[in-house]
Amino acid sequence: MTINKKVAAVVSGIAIATTLGLAKLVKAEEFNSNGWPIPNISNAKFLGQKQKDIISEIPGKETLLKGYKSPDGTYFNTLEYNGRIYGFYVDTNGKMPMEYMLMDMEGNGNFDRKAEAKGSGTTPEWLLKASYNKSF
């Protein structure tokens, strides 16, 4: 292999590694118009709750986070605003961090967005409208 081919191979390898590294920073999102299956709260063990500031566009600790454990060992949190569940954090392997998040993007109870649990992602417009209407 000539020097030029070796340099090209190294540069190519760096480019691939960089691309793969950047891909990990992107929040992968999947949409399902029929909605993703959600955890069953009715047969899960309640573990506790706390108020948290999850949505930066809404001032204060707007979200009530409730923790649960399913009979199959899956841990999950519900995310509630004004008594309505707008999302779930789900952990299937029993180790932090949570693997994914389900989000109701339309406010209709259909959890149509699935994304990595890291970061908040896109805030549903209906939550922002509900917050705006509540403040008046």
Q: Which domain holds residue 89?
A: 29-134
Alpha helices in 27-124, H assignment, sequence order: none
pLDDT tens track for 3-15: 444 333 333 333 3
Q: Does the residue 61 lie in any domain? A: yes
DSSP labels, 44-61: SEEEEEEEE---TTS-SS
What pLDDT digit, counting tens, does each position of 24-83 carry?
Answer: 333 578 888 899 999 999 999 999 999 999 888 888 899 999 999 999 999 999 999 989
Given a contact cutoff of 8 angstroms between Cβ atoms, the answer to whether 43 and 70 are in contact is: yes
- For residue 23, the SS3 value is helix
pLDDT at 37: 94
Is residue 44 included in any domain, yes or no? yes
Is pTM, for the whole model, over 0.85? no
pLDDT at residue 84, rounded to an integer: 93
Residue 55 domain flag: yes
Residue 13 placed within a domain: no
Q: How many domains does the chain have?
A: 1
Judge whether 48 lies within some domain: yes
